Amino acid sequence: MSTKEQVTDLFTKTVDDWAKFYDDPAPRTLTAQNFVSRRRFAIQMIEARLEKGSKILDVGCGTGHLAAELAKRGYDTWGTDLSTGMIDYARANYNADRYQVADIEKIPFPDNMFDGIVCLGVMEYLASDGPALDEMRRVLRPGGYAVITTPSSICPFFYIDRSIINLRFGLIRPVMGAVRRVVGGKLSDASPYPKVQHRRYRKGNWEKLLKSHGLELDDWVCHAWGCYGVERFFPQGGLCRASDKFARNGAVNWLASDQLVRVRAVK
């Protein structure tokens, strides 16, 4: 199964989970709060540069929630996603004519059509960045803006999480498995979701790459503190919300796991 097929399979199986992420504006879990914060920053970054009525494309729109929210705020919005399940949900719940299945590396719109693009939680799943960046620049009008999110490669919480995972699967899980076999307990089932690649990005290198594809950095924020590895024991939605206050503070925002850039199309 190719990387894109794995990603499509993952998100098709989790449509209902994604649809619930925005039900609570202040969720207790780190994952849900991260998505709530990310969406809010993306909207702020769009509204700071683009007037109402501007044409906005949400690439990797998922359930269509963000495109629908921007439409409520007066923008002319479209959404594309690789997952048929996600697009089916968006069409059933929002403006059906504005959502379609499409690959970010082959965006089905003419050159220079959009004033703005939002691309949240997509780049890290791709095999490489270049084709997607070229396509976003192609459909953006000269001077248009794109808001793109990526996970940070220098976030210390990520390395703590990785240590927890290595400890769990390298030591604790085998020991617990042996104990359960001895006492007759049932082993936990493997995750039903496929594993997918999840690349991470360093700000300086990411900025240079964006510039090489005609996308000039205009704004940068970084948010979401917390360890996913201990989420089941210590819900960290509050910690994630607290990090929003420091999203533009370069002295501390490097601690965060999620970064958003707003870039301007230079042609």
Write down the domain spans for the chain.
Answer: 3-153+196-265
- CATH superfamily, domain 3-153+196-265, is Vaccinia Virus protein VP39 (3.40.50.150)
pLDDT at res. 204: 94
pLDDT given at position 231: 85
> What does pTM read for this prediction?
0.87
pLDDT of residue 174: 43
3-class secondary structure per residue, the chain: CCHHHHHHHHHHHCHHHHHHCCCCCCCCCHHHHHHHHHHHHHHHHHHCCCCCCCEEEEECCCCCHHHHHHHHCCCEEEEEECCHHHHHHHHHHCCHHHEEECCHHHCCCCCCCEEEEEECCCHHHCCCCHHHHHHHHHHEEEEEEEEEEEEECCCHHHHHHHHHHHHHHHHHHHHHHHHHHHHCCCCCCCCCCCCCCCCCECHHHHHHHHHHCCEEEEEEEEECCCCHHHCCCCCCHHHHHHHHHHCCCCCCHHHCCEEEEEEEECC
pLDDT of the residue at 183:
47
Q: Which regions of the chain are under pLDDT 50?
A: 171-184, 186-193
pLDDT at 177: 47
pLDDT in tens, 164-220: 877 655 543 444 344 444 444 544 444 444 566 789 999 999 999 999 999 999 999
